[in-house]
Amino acid sequence: MTTPRKGALPAITLRSDDFDALDRLVGDLPGSGPAGLLQQELDRAKVCEPKAMPKNVVTLNRWLHYSDDHSPEVRRVQLVLPKEADIDAGRVSILSYVGAGLIGLKEGQSITWPDPSGAARKLTLVKLEDPEPAN
């Protein structure tokens, strides 16, 4: 299994419904690569009910802006389940290295996280967009 980093990782929080969906998703996958990293995040996450979820934390389907210390630009993406991923539309799979690294972070938090080559990079959650109003 790939290890994100030696040392402390930032605290993360997941909504209970996101946790359940992600736990089912990684349950049948090999424990390596992004799936293994996501499983590690599930194992250490604080889980809370959707109504108690802080507004400044990355959840599935939320648009966010993040920076990567390997690139000067801030990127706008939405973390989604693999079947909804569309990189051209900015919808990034939770089973990507970036997706697994950003889920559960609070605005302003950073995480040192591997990329597909195994090199460490620092991902920082710059800001979250307001959620879409419920219909």
Q: Which amino acid is at 49?
A: E
pTM reported for the whole predicted model = 0.88
Q: Has residue 7 got a pLDDT over 60?
A: no
Task: Please report the domains of the chain, with CATH numbers, ordered by start residue.
Answer: 13-128 (3.10.50.30)
Q: Has residue 1 got a pLDDT over 70?
A: no
Q: Distances from the Cα of 63 to the Cαs of 28, 29, 88, 106, 114, in angstroms? A: 27, 26, 14, 13, 22
- Tell me which residue of 74, 54, 71, 78 sits closest to 129, measured CA to CA: 78
Containing H/E element for 102? Answer: helix 97-102
pLDDT digits (tens, 9 = 90+) for 13-57: 999 999 999 999 998 777 788 999 999 999 999 999 999 999 999
pLDDT digits (tens, 9 = 90+) for 52-111: 999 999 999 999 999 999 888 999 999 999 999 999 999 999 999 999 999 999 999 999
Q: 123 falls in which pLDDT band (50, 70, 90)? A: very high
- Tell me which residue of 9, 34, 116, 103 sits closest to 70, measured CA to CA: 116
Q: Has residue 6 got a pLDDT over 80?
A: no
